[in-house]
Amino acid sequence: MAVEIGGIGHSVKRKEDARFIRGKGKYVDDVKLPGMLYLDIARSPLAHARIKNIDTSKALKIPGVVAVITGKDLVPLNLHWMPTLMSDKQMVLPTDTVLYQAQEVAAVVATERYIAADGVDAIEVDYEPLPVVVDPIKALQPGATLVREDREQKDNHIWHWEVGDKAGTDKAFKDAEVVVKQDLYIPRIHVSSIETCGIVASFDKVEGKLTVWMTTQAPHAIRTVIALVAGHLGLAEHKIRVISPDIGGGFGGKVPVYPGYVLAIGASVLTGAPVKWIEDRAENIQADSFARDYHISAELAAKKDGTMQALRVKTIADHGAFDAAANPSKYPAGLFHIITGSYPFEKSFVEVDGAYTNKPPGGIAYRCSFRVTEAAFTIERLVDVLALELKRDPAELRMQNFIPPTAFPYTSALGWEYDSGDYGRALRLAMDKIGYAELRKEQAAKRAKGELMGIGISSFTEIVGAGPSKNFDILGIKMFDSAEIRVHPTGKVMVRIGVKSQGQGHETTFGQIVAEELGIPVADIAVEEGDTDTAPYGLGTYASRSTPVAGGATAIAARKIREKAKLIAAHLLEANPDDVEWKDYKFQVKGVPAKSKTMQEVAFAAYTNHPQGMEAGLEAVDYYDPPNLTFPFGSYICVVDIDRGTGEVKIRRFVAVDDCGTIINPMIVEGQIHGGLTMGLAPALYEQITYDEQGNIQGGTFMDYLLPTAMETPNWETAKTTTPSPHHPIGAKGVGESATVGAPAAIANAVVDALAHLGVRHIDIPITPWKVQKILKEKGVAE
Amino acid sequence: MAVETAPTTSKGQRTLKIHVTINGAPHDVDVEARTLLVHFLRENLGMTGTHIGCDTTNCGACTVLLNGRAVKSCTVFAVQADQGTVATVEGLEKDGKLHPIQEGFHQEHGLQCGFCTPGMMMTAVALLEKNKQPTELEIREAISGNLCRCTGYVNIVKSIDHAARVMRETAEGKA
Amino acid sequence: MRFEGTLDIAAPRDRVWSFLTDPKQVTTCAPDVQSLEVTDPHRFKVVVRAGVGPIKGTFTMNVEFTELEEPGHATVVARGQAPGSAVEMRSTMDLAALDGTRTTMKWASDVTVSGMIQQVGARLMQGAADKITQQVFSCIKAKLEAPVTA
Amino acid sequence: MIPASFEYAVARDVAHAIELLTSSGGEGKVLAGGQSLIPLMKFRLAQPAFLVDINRISGLAQIRENGDLRIGALVREADLDMNPIVRERYQILVDTTRVIADPLVRNMATVGGNLAHADPANDHPATMLALRASVVARGPTGERLIPIDEFFVDTFTTVLGPNEILTEIRIPKPPARSGGAYLKLERKVGDFAIAGVAVMLALDEKGKVGAVGIGVTNAGPTAIRARKAEEILRGQATDDKTIAAAAAAAAGESKPWSDLRGPAEYKLDVIRVLTQRAIRKAVARATGGK
């Protein structure tokens, strides 16, 4: 029975696969409208320059070029700047100065994609180069090149943010028996979903209605932003329809509003024709929001016996030319203060300063919930540094310090209330699965022979599911999410939700939640999302919030339906509602299983035979404001071998034990973990974006921005423990990002562990073969 | 592939007519010489199952079979396909029956966002033509020119293995 | 990238000076000139094609003589663009008369390339720029040393 | 990324191709596999006015033995890998072709193109240097045989004239007790080499090195031949000390530069390490191993 229903806990095959495996997915670049024009963007080759002149004459002479838009054209429309999500503003097109390489400078609108590209090539811009600052530490020094002349404040400091007990923490450090300190740089990276960003904007002049197909993880918020930014042009929210079609991966990169979107909408409003803009990969990497770029200095105070006591962290956050981060408004450094991790620090103090540089604006998450990876990487690296200092086994030191399972709900030194956890159980399982003790023996034997292998652990705690309205909003909009469920007379169901899948399989998993709650087979449940004309308002899918927030809304909306259905069932069973119970996916008269009604029978009655005085129909809406965040956790163990000749790091094994509370679909959860691990591997060993002193991006295409292939990616081994969230309607915590958060530290710890006997304590990621080989040479062990 | 009918632009002219058989159906279309095969499929013919992911011949989202070989259609001009055959994801399902590779990806959860999937499947189809029983390493090598950001490849490898098994069983059943 | 060199030219200093500071003459030694527009005696716009092998860019360069101290010292700033890229070249030339018929020219050039060429072709730039610079100066020497045919 | 417009012609045969190139006045460019050229065109770093497509010329995609091994310029990398003769007797070519770009690129990319493009980061040039290969070029005045040592002039530049076409690569028949290997270190699969080393050697009856060739990828403006390293090996037994000395010499002859593939100093170490390993592998193969 339960298998047919396909409710919670079943590996139901995905419904959305049917179109994707046939090449029938509908992504934004697949949208083609009659008379559609194409927009392409000319970008700055310089990182900081005065624009002396833009000559568009040659471009306009190309047959098929309809228009060229420059910043000056946008001034009368007041569209040359737009607000960011972080109370900063960002240029749509510059009127006089460019602030980073690849910044949008002009847009060409043409009848064909190829002609638009020719038009971009024909635009001549006369630039006068200005001094460039790419290092946020230099940017914050007095006399540094000023990035933002438009601000009243004439330096590159954006904001200072701090949390925790400074005095108490300082005292704890003063009194501490052992203090370890580590500087870490977590480099700039880019989500690089395989689909880039794009939009088709279609403005109907007669109806005054704008329809937008757009690669956005948050369609409703985008609609509101368009209404707020372009309201003065006559675009009202009831005449704006934002459709998120199928999305080819998001990972946070499809949360912000990029200038190209605004330009396409503007071009459609001006021309009255549909306008498509699809960025290429270089534009995607070079101009769209980056992630990370945190310069961290972290200290940990402990007792000689290994008891961790206090944590002090100072960070400089590089935001590029505009603070275009996608964080909840109250948290300019996101949820970085989850940095106390899985450990019961008594005192902690964290401060972060934001800086402007001549680099593209951001930053967003990279498959993580607002700076959680930066936090998890720092604490898990620091624990290993402490283990080295105290000559302790890193697993044992973690076991000694974990917040005990009995302490939950647990309030951290920085104020988060962790919902539930059993960290020791997860680590023990990982150790058993990988054969930790045996590996340590093998390592000792290998060391004796001069061979290098390392074992790295990461026991992370994540914070997801933003979030409770008392603390969480974006541009003032509270971070609830929603579900609307309609049960049709024949017992088939339509579910609409405020989030938007980018591959997570919502059409299947949200159906499973409803199937579980209503006893209707998942095959009979359609899930729709991403169209603001039909779906209820929600804040979208990022930060692992779909299941914790919209999942909660879905379960509660289904329960509202079940409450009403119970009254109808009682009516049909001629019983007192109090005598009717929901059991085995049916309404039964208590103690008389033979007297029962299925949800399908009840649904039919809701339209054909409902009790007198009751409204007809069977539907419900819920806007769910979560009482708290959820705190998934896990323990990962990685084994690496190092080539003493080339410095190459080879991952031999990687075991991931995750605990994301109640699992809706084990198959999908495992898939999410595999993908997350690979996006944890990527920055640990391969991906980074750097800039030279002139602000030239290094690593701006897939030739140099190194996404792992199937050959670099190990065969991930996964396992799970289940510690449900006590406050979530179905006990689920969210899982899409855990592995990306937890994996980098396990890999870095493994490499450092392989070299620890040589006195190595830290290597900044990405751990390239030349970084390793340099150490091998310095330590005299290179081949 | 008769050379006599091969296209050549006359001086100053940039479009020419090509004849290509795609998933078994003939097409005669005027294209610019510079039109990339992937744009020809997507824009000229409206076959949007083949995707574009990187522009630099790295990601393989645009993989199709050109005269039976898996190639990156963003790095081939449409004119190079003149008189040839192209197979795309849209041609995998035959008479309402899914190709084993499509079944494999569905059964083994080999896709998430679906964007790399068509290219990944076309690469796999070409692999299984040559190698009926590939090892895990051979599968990983074969798809090393196709990037996936969602799955971590584990289930893609299983999907291709699944298809190989089904195809072997079908072949044995017929034999 | 910085390039520099010293050149002995078998021509009088005045002749070298007038050649180097005359847009029409000096651009005859630029690589593959597509067009030349002289704005005023100190400024001109020249379109050149340069590169290595199949990699060849069309560069639209705005050139300005920012220092002209006849007959010994000149500074030239050339700024321009190719598709997706920007180039800036700041060059100095110092001429010393060895005798009435021979001139020593010391030159230095700072070249900055930004954008797509830098990103994709960084590994080629040093060699290409070096080669083009050498060609330009050997052309200057050759032209100045050629017998006057007029 | 969209290439600029160009005119296009399909060459019927080699003579036709030469004629088309000649008529273009130096603006013509040969399109073979296109896997290097088309990406450059999409970046608009290359904007040839005229493309001469040689893919339909018959007879240029054959692999045959005629005393030496003859590889047609249009042989695709994937076909080189699958060829039984190559697999049986030229393992160094199998090593090389399998690490070029990725399997999909190798279905289009040609051996001739890999050489004629003259990218020092390409893999065949070093291998052909080690193999002491020659290339056959045909132009308006006929055919010439160019020893590989004379073929590469500079980055992206060979001795081929603007209307000359590379038609074939000839590789001498490997003597008895010979073996070769190509080792490449890359940042990830599909990438150009951080460095690559090709070693081809023959052993005499006493196990001493006779003929030897060593080529290095991405260690200068062109692929380089490590002559000093060859010299050190020649006539010597392949003991650890000799191999180490040869490897050190190969690094000494290399001039890599610092870039996103690592600092120059690191690359020198990699060349040394890869040379040692390639020599050992070549020796193992020469003595009947894999």
**Contact indicator for A29, A198 with CB cutoff of 8 Å:** yes
**Considering only alpha carbons, which residue of chain A is nearest residue D262?**
A770
Among D186, D197, D194, CA closest to D262: D194
Question: How much is the average pLDDT of A28-37?
Answer: 98
Mean pLDDT over B38-46 rounds to: 97
Q: Within a 10 A sphere around the Cβ of D204, how many other Cβ atoms? A: 14
Query: How many domains, in total, are found in chain D?
Result: 3
Distance CA C139, CA B119 (A): 52
Closest Cα in chain A to C89: A129
- A114, A646, A647: residue with CB nearest D2: A114
- Contact between D275 and D199 under an 8 Å Cβ cutoff? The reply is yes
Place of tokens 């050649």: C19
| Contact criterion met (CB < 8 Å) for A774 and D266 | yes
Q: Which two tokens stand for residue D270?
A: 């990699």
Nearest alpha carbon to residue A561 among A513, A500, A527, A593: A513
Q: Point out the residue among A126, A129, A704 whose CB comes nearest to the CB of C62.
A: A126
Q: Which residues contact residue A406 at a Cβ distance below 8 angstroms, ignoring those fewer than 6 apart?
A: none
Instruction: For residues A268 and A262, give the distance between their C-alpha atoms in angstroms, rounded to a whole number.
Output: 10
Q: Are A24 and A241 in contact (CB under 8 A)?
A: no
Which of A226-235, A446-455, A677-686 bottoms out in mean pLDDT, i.e. has the lowest?
A226-235
C-beta atoms surrounding A475 within 10 Å = 14
User: Interface pTM (ipTM) of the complex?
Assistant: 0.96
Q: Are A241 and A211 in contact (CB under 8 A)?
A: yes
* Tokens linked to C37: 């527009």
Q: Per the CB < 8 Å rule, is C127 touching D157? A: no
Question: What would the mean pLDDT of A487-516 be, rounded to a whole number?
Answer: 97
Domain that holds residue B69: 3-91
Query: DSSP states of A305-357 as a string?
Result: TS-EEEEEEEEEEE-TTSB-----TT-TTTTGGGTTTTS--SEEEEEEEEE--
Helices (H), ranges, chain D: 14-23, 37-42, 77-82, 84-89, 91-98, 103-108, 111-116, 124-131, 148-151, 227-233, 240-253, 264-286
- Quickly name the fold that domain A2-24+481-624 has: Aldehyde Oxidoreductase; domain 4 (3.30.365)
Q: Which amino acid does the sequence have at A96? A: D
> Is A494:A526 a contact under the CB 8 Å cutoff?
yes
Confidence class for position B5, pLDDT limits 50, 70, 90: very low
Say whether A780 sits in a helix, a strand or coil: coil
D10 interaction partners in chain B (CB closer than 8 Å): 3, 6-8
Beta-carbon separation of A696 and C81 below 8 A: no
Q: Which residue type sits at D235?
A: G
Measure the CA–CA gap between A272 and A265, rounded to whole angstroms: 10
CB-based contact, A700 to chain C, within 8 Å: yes
The percent of residues in chain B predicted with pLDDT above 90, rounded, is 89
Question: Is the domain of D229 the same as that of D159?
Answer: no
Cα(A775)–Cα(A782) distance, integer angstroms: 8
Q: Assess A526–C contact: CB distance below 8 Å, yes or no.
A: no
- Reported as a single tens digit per residue, the pLDDT across A464-477 is 999 899 999 998 99
Residue B129, pLDDT > 90, answer: yes
Q: Using pLDDT thresholds of 50, 70 and 90, give the confidence band for residue B10.
A: low
d(CA A754, CA A746): 12
Q: What is the mean pLDDT of residues C108-119?
A: 88
- Rounded CA-CA distance B120/B105 in Å is 10
B74/B135 same-domain check: no
Query: What pLDDT shows up at residue D141?
Result: 95
- Token reading at D236: 């010597």
- CA–CA distance, A80 with D126 (Å, rounded to integer): 53
Start-to-end Cα distance in chain B: 34
- Residues of A marked active site are found at 217, 367-368, 737
Containing structural domain, residue D238:
180-282
B21 and B83 in a single domain? The answer is yes
Specify the pLDDT at position B2: 33
For residues B16 and B7, give the distance between their C-alpha atoms in angstroms, rounded to a whole number.
7
**Beta-bridge partner residues of A349:** A164, A312
A304 CB within 8 Å of a chain B CB: no
pLDDT, tens digit, for every residue of B17-41? 999 999 999 999 999 999 999 999 9
| CA–CA dist A719, A670 (Å, integer) | 9
Shared domain for B7 and B44, answered yes or no, is yes
* CA atoms within a 13 Å half-sphere pointing along the CA-CB vector of A50: 5
pLDDT digits (tens, 9 = 90+) for A48-63: 999 999 999 999 999 9
Q: Are strands D193-203 and D209-217 parallel, antiparallel or unpaired?
A: antiparallel
In the prediction, which pLDDT does B8 show? Answer: 64
Report the neighbours of B using a cutoff of 3 or more CB pairs below 8 angstroms.
A, D
* D100 and D17 both lie in a single domain: no
A762 contacts A381 by C-beta, under 8 angstroms: yes
Q: Which of D3, D78, D105 sits opposite B72 (nearest CB)?
A: D105
Sign of the torsion angle spanned by Cα atoms C74, A55, C121, A764: positive
D38 domain-assigned: yes
Domain boundaries, chain A: 2-24+481-624, 31-130+197-278, 290-363+371-401+422-466+628-778
Residue D147: CB atoms within 10 Å: 11
Q: Which residues of D touch C126 (CB under 8 A)?
A: 257
Do B30 and B108 share a structural domain? no
Q: Assess whether D44 and D130 both reside in one domain.
A: no
Show Cβ contacts of residue A543 under 8 Å, excluding neighbours closer than 6 positions: A252, A365, A368, A369, A370, A464, A465, A466, A737
DSSP conformational letter for A95: S
Residue A709 is nearest to which of D189, D263, D277, comparing CB atoms? D189
Query: Alpha-carbon distance A157 to A667, whole Å?
Result: 46
Domain with C106 in it: what CATH number? 3.30.530.20
Q: In a 10 Å sphere around its CB, with 0-12 CB exposed, 13-18 middle and 19+ buried, how is residue A370 labelled?
A: buried
Per-residue pLDDT of chain D (290 residues; tens, 9 = 90+): 999 999 999 999 999 999 999 999 888 999 999 999 999 999 998 999 999 999 999 999 999 998 999 999 999 999 999 999 999 999 999 999 999 999 999 999 999 999 999 999 999 999 999 999 999 999 999 999 999 999 999 999 999 999 999 999 999 999 999 999 999 999 999 999 999 999 999 999 999 999 999 999 999 999 999 999 999 999 999 999 999 999 999 999 999 999 999 999 999 999 999 999 999 999 999 998 76
Asked if A498 has any chain D CB less than 8 Å from its own CB, the reply is no
Six token digits for residue A199: 């939009």
Q: Are residues B9 and B82 in the same domain?
A: yes
In order of A245, A358, D60, D136, the CA distances from D159 in angstroms are 53, 44, 20, 12
Q: Is residue C99 part of a domain?
A: yes
Rounded (5°) CA angle D159-D163-D166: 60
Q: Which of B21, B43, B53 is closest to B118 using CA atoms? A: B53
Q: Cα separation of D80 and D67, whole Å?
A: 18
User: Tell me, what CATH number does B143's domain have?
Assistant: 1.10.150.120
Q: What is the pLDDT of residues C12-25, one digit of tens each?
A: 999 899 898 888 89
Instruction: Say what the pLDDT of residue A213 is.
Output: 98
Query: In this complex, which of C116, C127, C131 lies closest to D45 when CB atoms are compared?
Result: C116
Number of domains in chain B: 2
Q: What is the DSSP letter of A464?
A: B
Rounded distance between C-alpha atoms, residue A37 and residue A277, angstroms: 9
In a domain, D1, yes or no: no
Closest CA to D55 of B73, B13, B74, B3: B3
Q: What is the tens place of the pLDDT at every residue in A135-177? A: 999 999 999 999 999 999 999 999 999 999 999 999 999 999 9
Same domain, yes or no: D155 and D130: yes
Residues 6+ away with beta carbon under 8 Å from D82:
none
- pLDDT confidence of C55, banded at 50, 70, 90? confident
Q: Is A641 helix (H, G, I), strand (E, B) or coil?
A: strand
- Total domains in the fold of chain C: 1
Q: List % helix, strand, coil for chain D (3-state, nearest 5).
A: 35, 30, 35
Q: What is the pLDDT of residue C147?
A: 74
Query: Which structure tokens are listed for A303?
Result: 């007792």
Neighbour count for residue C121 (Cβ, 10 Å): 20
Q: Does the pLDDT at position A327 exceed 80?
A: yes
DSSP state, D290? -
Residues belonging to chain C with any Cβ–Cβ distance to chain D shorter than 8 Å: 51-58, 83-84, 116-117, 120-124, 126-128, 131
Q: What is the pTM of this model?
A: 0.97
In a domain, D2, yes or no: no
Q: Which residue of A has its CA nearest to D39?
A: A703
CB-based contact (8 Å) between B79 and chain D? yes
- Looking at chain A, the whole-number percentage of residues with pLDDT higher than 90 is 96
Q: Which of B58, B91, B124 is the last residue of a domain?
A: B91
Choose one of B91, B113, B138: the last residue of a domain: B91
Span A357-405, pLDDT tens digits = 999 999 999 999 899 999 999 999 999 999 999 999 999 999 999 999 9
Structure tokens at A274: 């549909």
Is the Cβ pair D154, C52 closer than 8 Å?
yes
Question: Which residues on chain B are in Cβ contact (under 8 Å) with A194?
Answer: 51, 53-54, 59, 61, 113, 115-116, 147-149
Structural domain that includes position C96: 2-145
- Residue range A175-196, pLDDT digits in tens: 999 999 999 999 999 999 999 9
For D188, which of A646, A706, A770 is closest by C-beta distance?
A: A706
The span from the CA of A290 to the CA of A699, in Å, is 12
D156 in C contact zone (CB under 8 Å): yes
Instruction: Mutate one of B23, B47, B54, B92 to test the A interface: name it (highest A CB count within 10 A).
Output: B54
In chain C, what is the greatest distance between 2 CA atoms, to the nearest angstrom? 48
Same domain, D219 and D258: yes
Instruction: Identify the CA nearest to A749 among candidates A457, A495, A486.
Output: A457
CATH number of the CATH domain containing D248? 3.30.390.50
The architecture (CATH level 2) of A290-363+371-401+422-466+628-778 comes to 2-Layer Sandwich (3.30)
* Interface with C, mutate which of D115, D122, D155 (most C CBs under 10 A): D155
Of D151, D171, D191, the domain-final residue: D171
Report yes or no: C57 and C129 within 8 Å, Cβ to Cβ.
no
D-interface mutation test, from C55, C117, C134, most D Cβ less than 10 A away: C55
Cβ neighbours of residue A414 under 8 Å, at least 6 residues apart? A163, A164, A337, A338, A339, A340, A348, A350
Report d(CA A365, CA A254) in Å as an integer. 10
Q: Measuring CA to CA, which residue among B112, D288, D142, D19 is closest to residue A195?
A: B112
Q: Which residues pair with D44 in a beta bridge?
A: none
Task: Report chain D residues touching chain B, CB-CB < 8 A.
Answer: 1-10, 12, 31, 34-35, 38-39, 41-42, 51, 53, 55-56, 58, 78, 101-105, 107-108, 189-190
Query: Is residue B3's pLDDT more than 50?
Result: no
**CATH class for the domain made up of A31-130+197-278:** alpha beta
Tell me, what CATH number does D12's domain have?
3.30.43.10
Which residue in this structure is represented by tokens 């495992």? A670
Say if strands A275-278 and A290-302 run parallel, antiparallel, or are unpaired: unpaired
Residue D38: predicted pLDDT: 97
What pLDDT, on the 0 to 100 scale, is given for residue C150?
45
| Domain identity same for D14 and D86 | no
